[in-house]
Chain A
């Protein structure tokens, strides 16, 4: 029997759905009163296509992480074999620091108390590869030695890992920490219900394109011409956007189906627990993503460049706006971190799990899905 937190989030719900598909009795801890929590659980299970028979194994625990005992009766509590902790606030923004810290760090004490009380023996924590923070180069599957962080999310997840390592050791609980990189939609279908991270810059670019194309087509393009946007004779749209990248930088992207397979392979094959990176062995260059975007959406004028280019020609207003909009993603656009997978790799190899390449066809699949679904995130 598994106790799952964060079961309505993107990664957590995929894990929850997989647990049910595997026939595992699963307790979903979901915020809000019973009516609201139940509706949220139904909605997410609908999205995952979990049928009625399988739903019989899904049990709702409504409440907050901070509540002692999390509202479970002691008898049921003792039937829990493992806790999978996916609940997390993924905001990068400093303005949300208090909220992020409360969810990601402060609530851990209650969940750990609960784990100890349940005598479950195994605690699985969904962390992030980016706990590595500002550390450049090789990042091992080991506890963090902090060199600072790019945002509150990274910082809070690193702090959570420290807390967990200490407490689990004290309590004799087996701890498995999984650190995925950036997760996108399904590799076969592009299906997802969250359009942040990889999707956000593309979505922003397309929004800019739409606005200025309308200006050109419907109102003579005065505003578009102010920022140098034009529709070319071949029908493509020129968006004069230079995007700052670092030499040898790239972004680490994994599809959700690979993440789920890897997650279960690791937790089922790591009898002693430990820390595992679930990442793509190949970084995707920002230049490639820019090319994919230009090809798929008939755009021109966007290109990647180094910082020195902006010293030569300062940013135009469109670039200033774009930079400001995407400032939170900047560390990931200019990322030079390499995540080592010495522990994960043997498990994945044994299980025959390979991370699909993020090539142009994959990009096209994901973005087509996003466009078809109007970038509508599932509201839960």
Chain B
């Protein structure tokens, strides 16, 4: 990774991982106090890049943003874990840049007086609505390759449903467009406006009703925060990307995860939702008079309204849950096992993973993950794996069905001993292994346990050997905490999945299709793979999770693009030209086939509406 501040700043992935305390480091101190994205490391990265490109003037907001950075180094730890970037150099450079502007006598730009802004401030308070360009710029772009920068006129931070309602009414009255950003984030290039950005980050109320098995969450509550709170009380929720909001995830993509194997997807994920419609009226899905958002429509949709609250189900946790990784030498067998487990109701969380996912999840650095990915298949024979979380009965069943498995303790050893696992001696020895069985079977053999422990020395210190020297102490203490090597905890909090965009921004294609259609899975892999190869794009199989008793599955294939490269942007456009018509056609002709283009923004629908034929009219545009 580069040490150049501008290069680092330009690579910020906008995954908002600096807005959740997922490493127990605490948060950037100014963020929770000021709430705007601009006061988090993500915002400061954007601001520094914008400043260097003369996109923003010196403002009081900018000075405050620079001054409130304490160089506490929390951002370096958080961002390194997720993306390998080291934002501290950017923070230092930003402070120096602003200081230099001040010292050079640069005039301080005053944002214009604005009637709408004054009214917004009356609704949310003076500190929570702004038109300062330094703050606006942090809501003006995201890493999606096909979206150009668009500066909003205002950013406003409501704290309640009532405030959202007033804002919407005001915007309607003044004819100003609005978009809503849960937690301020955006990665799909969809929440941009030249009007008002409504950032729901202050709406962080979580109410757990244990007797009723429900959690009520505000629009600014992240998946991580809810999962942590539910977990503290002995429950689990079906959560998606950790830094994304629960409401946002439900609305946008229907909230799917590997846990969808047991917890379902789309309308399975909520009990009720509260909205503010485009006239500012507050509605509830449970109200018979409210619009029917349960019905899937096979067309491109925009979000139905602003979701201000969701009531989601809580699930019990048994005290013997553990993760298992079942290695396979081929794709088909892995998919078959995953489906079979779902048919038999074995396992809570199920996913077919490829070497890229496995390597990325296990490795604290990009370099290590690339080496692991290279060796998993070539040396250890692990071309694919089925990741399962199950109780002890479930795990016994998986072992009976699959034979060799990497169980939770072994997975922990591999994570902690990874730098040595990829050592020359070990790799060389396994590479020349000539047995009839895949080499991973030796790894999984209980007889090998003392040898593996002696060889890998799986300790937090060993794991930390992989990172830069100044971060080793931090990683050592991090890996001393059992949850950071616990497959169950990591999976339910999803904090390693953010690493998928570590080497480049991830551009994911999501498809729902019949889980028994191996031929179609192969076609998807081949077509996505060949298209990427022809266009010169980094790419990899993402994952498959079976659901609905093994009848359907969600499938992900990922393209990786350098968000700062004009060439990669052109490639992304070429991808869309080729892939979109092909997937559109499959959605019209294949039973049970739907892709993200049409289910995006329809997260409240009943999954049955598109899982099964005959419940939505499907025609070409």
With an 8 A cutoff between CB atoms, is A219 at the interface? yes
Interface-located stretch among A61-69, A74-82, A114-122, A318-326: A318-326
CB distance from A131 to the nearest CB of B (A): 18
Question: Bound state CA distance, A375 and B432, in angstroms?
Answer: 11
A223 to chain B: closest residue by CB: B454
Contact A95 B432 (CB under 8 A): no
Interface members, chain A 209-252 (any B CB < 8 Å): 210-212, 214-215, 219, 223-224, 226-227
Contact A200 B451 (CB under 8 A): no
- Tell me the interface secondary structure of chain A in the complex: helix
Contact A211 B442 (CB under 8 A): no
Chain B: residues with Cβ within 8 Å of the partner, total of 26
Question: Bound state CA distance, A94 and B437, in angstroms?
Answer: 8
Contact indicator per residue, chain B 443-457, by CB within 8 Å of chain A (1) or not (0): 001111111011101
Question: Bound state CA distance, A321 and B429, in angstroms?
Answer: 13
CB distance from A227 to the nearest CB of B (A): 5
CB distance from A198 to the nearest CB of B (A): 13
Contact A95 B442 (CB under 8 A): no
Question: Bound state CA distance, A260 and B162, in angstroms?
Answer: 90
With an 8 A cutoff between CB atoms, is A10 at the interface? no
Interface members, chain B 446-488 (any A CB < 8 Å): 446-451, 453-455, 457
Choice from A91, A226, A375 contacting B450 with Cβ under 8 Å: A226
CB distance from B369 to the nearest CB of A (A): 23
Interface members, chain A 301-336 (any B CB < 8 Å): 317-318, 320-321, 324-325, 327-329
Contact residues in A for B429 (Cβ distance below 8 Å):
203-204, 207
> With A95-B329, A200-B432, A327-B435 in contact, is A207–B454 under 8 Å at CB?
no
Contact residues in A for B441 (Cβ distance below 8 Å):
324
With an 8 A cutoff between CB atoms, is A92 at the interface? yes
Contact A324 B442 (CB under 8 A): yes
Contact residues in B for A203 (Cβ distance below 8 Å):
429
With an 8 A cutoff between CB atoms, is A295 at the interface? no
B329 to chain A: closest residue by CB: A95
Contact B445 A320 (CB under 8 A): yes
With an 8 A cutoff between CB atoms, is B438 at the interface? yes
> With A93-B435, A325-B435 in contact, is A208–B447 under 8 Å at CB?
no
Contact A321 B442 (CB under 8 A): yes
Contact B435 A324 (CB under 8 A): yes
With an 8 A cutoff between CB atoms, is A196 at the interface? yes
CB distance from A251 to the nearest CB of B (A): 15
CB distance from A187 to the nearest CB of B (A): 23
Contact B445 A321 (CB under 8 A): yes
Choice from A200, A219, A328 contacting B436 with Cβ under 8 Å: A328
Contact residues in B for A92 (Cβ distance below 8 Å):
434
B453 to chain A: closest residue by CB: A223
With an 8 A cutoff between CB atoms, is B433 at the interface? yes
Contact indicator per residue, chain A 182-200, by CB within 8 Å of chain B (1) or not (0): 0000000000000110001
Contact B450 A325 (CB under 8 A): no
CB distance from B148 to the nearest CB of A (A): 41
With an 8 A cutoff between CB atoms, is B41 at the interface? no
Contact B435 A328 (CB under 8 A): yes
Contact indicator per residue, chain A 142-166, by CB within 8 Å of chain B (1) or not (0): 0000000001000000000000000
Contact residues in B for A227 (Cβ distance below 8 Å):
450-451
Choice from B381, B436, B442, B453 contacting A325 with Cβ under 8 Å: B442
Contact A321 B428 (CB under 8 A): no
Question: Bound state CA distance, A95 and B438, in angstroms?
Answer: 7
CB distance from A53 to the nearest CB of B (A): 36
Choice from B436, B455, B457 contacting A327 with Cβ under 8 Å: B436
Contact residues in B for A318 (Cβ distance below 8 Å):
447, 451
Contact residues in B for A377 (Cβ distance below 8 Å):
432
Question: Bound state CA distance, A212 and B457, in angstroms?
Answer: 11
CB distance from B436 to the nearest CB of A (A): 4
Contact A215 B434 (CB under 8 A): no
B437 to chain A: closest residue by CB: A95
Given contacts A214-B454, A321-B442, A321-B447, 19 further A-B contacts (CB under 8 A): A95-B437, A200-B432, A203-B429, A204-B429, A207-B426, A210-B425, A211-B455, A219-B457, A223-B451, A224-B454, A227-B450, A227-B451, A317-B448, A321-B445, A324-B445, A327-B435, A328-B434, A328-B435, A375-B428
17 A-B contacts (beta carbon < 8 Å): A92-B434, A94-B436, A203-B429, A208-B451, A212-B454, A223-B451, A226-B450, A227-B450, A317-B446, A317-B447, A318-B451, A321-B445, A321-B447, A325-B435, A325-B442, A328-B435, A377-B432
Query: Sorted from nearest, which 6 A-B pairs have the closest CB atoms?
Result: A328-B434, A320-B447, A223-B454, A94-B436, A317-B447, A215-B454
